[in-house]
Every structure is written in structure tokens, then in C-alpha cells.
Amino acid sequence: MIARFRQFLNALSETFWLVPAVLVLLGILLAVGLLRIDRSEVLPLWLANSTWIYNGGGTGARTLLGTIASSAIGVAGTVFSITIAALSLAAGQMGPRLLRNFTRDRGVQLTLGAFLGTFSYALMVLRSVRTQEEGPFTPHLALTVGIVLALACVGTLVYFVAHMASRINVDTVVNLVSADVHSAMGDLLTDKKQTEPPPASFWAQATPVMDSRRGYLQQLDETGLANWAAEHGTAIRLLTRPGDYVFPGAPIALMTVHVPDAEAAIRSATALGETRGSGGSAEHAIRQLVEVAVRALSPGINDPRTAMSVLDQLGATLCDMAGRNLPSGVSMRKQALALVVPDIGYEGMVNVMFHMIRQNSTANTAVLIRLLDVLTTVIICEPATDRRAALSHHAELVWSDVQRDVKNPSDREDVHLRYQSFHRAATSGVLGAIGVHAASTQTQG
């Protein structure tokens, strides 16, 4: 149940309507509260007679509130139209999976909520105004606050236009997604030594646990499932990790000691959805960054500089990982194995970052050069031998692609210099990399 509750909270935090709905409710409650104050006539005389308080009659009050309400709802429609246009542009140029970065934008939500809340406030106050023929009642304090809200909406509109103009900039989108990556990696990385998972032979006599559901695994309650396994004297190895697709009728886990209600326990500890990503997932945020780069490299967009910016951000993430550990997915209880969750590992993370970008940039020498530059910088930062081997593998793949696809001798020479720089950096550190780069007078990107 905890996994489903997390899934609900994550979905709620990314909904577009929550903030506007709250502001509409606040507008209604503010109107009711101020009307009650106006009816009770508790305002001090000096404040009631002040020039800052609305002191007109009922007819003027109705006209003013009607103008505020109609203007607020009209501009709210304009705000919604601009938002839809921005979403269409983002879906076409940066990928539909990045739309969540626009729909969860608090600036857009607050802007729309401000106009809808002001509209609701004006309607609630308008219904209480009475002219001389109806028995006069003019809520002076509520009218004054309505004018203040209308002026605040003017400032909000100016902010919204500037905000949307910056949001549809691809560099801004790259920085926003990169911030998600760095935040998720900060929660994921640890300085503690991780317990290694047992060998495959440990599960030789394990019993498979089937699952009839279908969908992407979005949330997993590792603590709860590990506690359940320890209480029932078994060890569980999940065969899918968050982000993987669960196929109906396929095994979702193995367990060393068969427990009849294991499937129900796994169902309770997992939450499936229709999309791969989930809030706070480092791998999902990285895939979003890679999608921006791949789309930028498509013939229809042809924007290699955006792909280079993405490579820079990915390189920064790998440098942050240097000297730190990724979770192994092993949960122990009382020094006994309780749960093993498949982990992506460093090599898998690097593959997610670079494979698709390299495969889509075989004809773009500048991007391949930047990729080798990023790998060179990362291998200087990374001391672990196995991680350096993964980085070297990608450098070899780049050079192999260049030998096969790049026909221009000058371009191949530029890439070869970066390739040599990478290998010297791998053996001699930063001084080796500088030694090769000094031989080249060309700079890319």
C-alpha cells in the first residue's frame, strides 16, 4: 500500500489542476470572510472613511466587479491558450515525454490559478451587492481587496509572458531536466559500501512468483517487501526494477522458500502505471535528457549544439558519481538476505546516457568530438577500474563509428586526436590529455 500511496502523491504533485483549484477555493473563502466583516461593521471609522477604501455605491460596485470578473476569465483563457501552444511546441521539438515539465510548472499553475481565483472572488462578492431599491449593501472592504487582486493579476500576466518566453527555450528545458537528474542522483548515490548480490547459483532452487498485471513498475516499497520476506523466512529476487514493464503471466520474482501469499505481498509492495517514468527516478530523468539530444540530432531539427549541451550535463552527472557508490539493490535483515532488486549499475547508466546519442550522431562529427571530450573529462575524474573500462568501451565505439561512417580525412583526424587524448588521459591523467590537445588548433562546440 505504501507504493500505491507514493504513486498517488507523485501523480497528485504533477497534476495541472491542483494549484488552480486551491487558489479558486481560497478566493471563495476570502470573499466569504471579507463579506462577513463588511456585514458586521467592525471596521474602524478611520479605516472605513479612508481614501484607500472603496466608498462608491451599489451600482458602481456591480460594474467594477463585473469588469474584474469578465477580464479575469478572459485573460485566463488567453493564459490557457498560450500554455497549450507551448505544450505543442515542446512536444514537437523536445518530445512528448517532456510535457510533464510544463504541466507541473508552478509558475503556469499559479498564473492560471490567480486569474481563476480572482474571477471566483469577484463573483462571490458581486452576488452580495444590493442597490438602493433592493436594500442597500455595498461591501467596501471586499471591493477594495477585489481591486488589489485585479492589480495583482496585471503583474501576474507580465510575469507569465516572460516566464513562458524563457520556458520554451531549449537550453532552459535542458537545465530543468538536468536539475532533476542531479537531484535524483543526489538521493541515489551513497558513500557507504554496498553489499554485493549473491551469485546466480544462489537462486538455483528458487520458486518463481507470477504476476497477472501489466504495466510499468513505477513505485516499489523495498523496505516493506524486505521486512515481509524476513518475517516469512524467505529471500526474494525481483526480476523487474522500477521503469521495467511487467508482462501479464510472466514471473516477476524468485523466492528461495515458497510462501503461499508471496504474490499478494509483491502486489502490495509495487505500483504499476501506464508510463515508464516516475517522479524522482534518475534513470527516467536521464532518458528525458537523451531524448532531447536525439530529437535535436534528427534531420527535421538539426540542432547539434543542443545535443552537445546534453552531453555536457551528462558528463557533469558522471563526474558527480566519481568515488561514490550506486545502490546494489540488496536488502539485509539480521545479517540474512531478504530482498534483491535489479540495479542498473554504472555501466548500465553510461549505456543509457551515450548509446542513443552516439547511434544518432554517426554523421555529425562535432557531436562525436564532444562525446569524446566528455568521456576524457569523466575518466580523469573517475578512479574506479571497472568504471573506467565502461568509459573506454564507449570511446572505442565512437572511434569504430567514425572509421566506418566519416569519410572526410580532416574530420577523421580531428576525432582521432580526441580519441588519442582519451587514451592518454586514461593512462596519464589530465597532463596526458593536454599533451594531445596541444597538437590540435581546432576547437569544436
pTM of the model: 0.79
**CA 351 to mean position of chain CA atoms:** 20
Q: How far is the C-alpha of 422 from the C-alpha of 373, rounded, in Å?
A: 7
Q: How far is the C-alpha of 327 from the C-alpha of 192, rounded, in Å?
A: 9
The pLDDT score that the predictor gives to residue 302 is: 83
The pLDDT score that the predictor gives to residue 437 is: 46
The pLDDT score that the predictor gives to residue 440 is: 46
Q: Which of 355, 444, 343 is nearest to 401 (CA)?
A: 355
Per-residue cell: 410:
580532416
DSSP string, 150-165: HHHHHHHHHHHHHHHH
The pLDDT score that the predictor gives to residue 432 is: 65
Per-residue cell: 372:
569524446
Per-residue cell: 74:
478572459
Q: How far is the C-alpha of 222 from the C-alpha of 220, rounded, in Å?
A: 6
> Which residues make Cβ contacts (< 8 Å) with residue 302, sequence separation at least 6?
296
Q: How far is the C-alpha of 164 from the C-alpha of 167, rounded, in Å?
A: 5
> Which residues make Cβ contacts (< 8 Å) with residue 8, sequence separation at least 6?
none
Per-residue cell: 245:
514493464
Per-residue pLDDT tens listing for the chain (445 residues): 787 777 777 777 778 888 999 999 999 999 999 999 888 877 776 666 677 787 778 888 899 999 999 999 999 988 888 888 877 776 666 666 666 667 778 888 999 999 999 999 999 999 988 877 766 788 888 999 999 999 999 999 999 988 888 777 778 888 888 888 898 888 888 888 888 899 989 999 999 999 999 999 988 999 999 999 999 999 999 999 888 899 999 999 999 999 988 999 999 999 998 887 655 578 888 988 898 899 888 887 888 999 999 999 999 999 999 989 998 889 999 889 999 998 888 999 999 999 999 999 887 899 999 999 999 999 999 999 999 999 999 999 999 999 988 888 998 999 999 999 998 998 887 766 666 444 444 444 4
Q: How far is the C-alpha of 187 from the C-alpha of 189, rounded, in Å?
A: 6
Q: Which amino acid does the sequence have at 14?
A: E
Per-residue cell: 433:
590529455
Q: How far is the C-alpha of 394 from the C-alpha of 361, rounded, in Å?
A: 14
Q: Which of 407, 441, 440 is nearest to 421 (CA)?
A: 440
3-state secondary structure 234-272: CCEEECCCCCCEECCCEEEEEECCCCCCHHHHHHHHEEE
The pLDDT score that the predictor gives to residue 56 is: 78
Give me the helix-helix angle, 304-321 and 282-296, nearest 10°. 160
The pLDDT score that the predictor gives to residue 439 is: 45
Neighbour tally for 228: CB within 10 Å:
22
Q: Alpha helices of 58-105 — where are they, by DSSP H?
A: 58-93, 100-103
Element (H, E) at 118: helix 106-126
Residue 326: DSSP 8-state: -
Q: Which of 265, 264, 237 is nearest to 252 (CA)?
A: 237
The C-alpha cell 568530438 sits at 369
Hey, is 281 helix, strand or coil? coil
> Which residues make Cβ contacts (< 8 Å) with residue 157, sequence separation at least 6?
75, 79, 111
DSSP string, 364-429: -HHHHHHHHHHHHHHHHH---HHHHHHHHHHHHHHHHHHHHH---HHHHHHHHHHHHHHHHHHHHT
CA atoms in the 13 A half-sphere facing the CB of 328: 13
The pLDDT score that the predictor gives to residue 280 is: 56
CA atoms in the 13 A half-sphere facing the CB of 195: 14
Q: How far is the C-alpha of 281 from the C-alpha of 314, rounded, in Å?
A: 15
| CATH class of segment(s) 172-341 | alpha beta
The pLDDT score that the predictor gives to residue 436 is: 45
Name 133's bridge partners.
Answer: none
Boundaries of every domain in the chain: 13-168, 172-341, 361-445
Contact between 2 and 220 (Cβ < 8 Å): no
The C-alpha cell 473563502 sits at 29
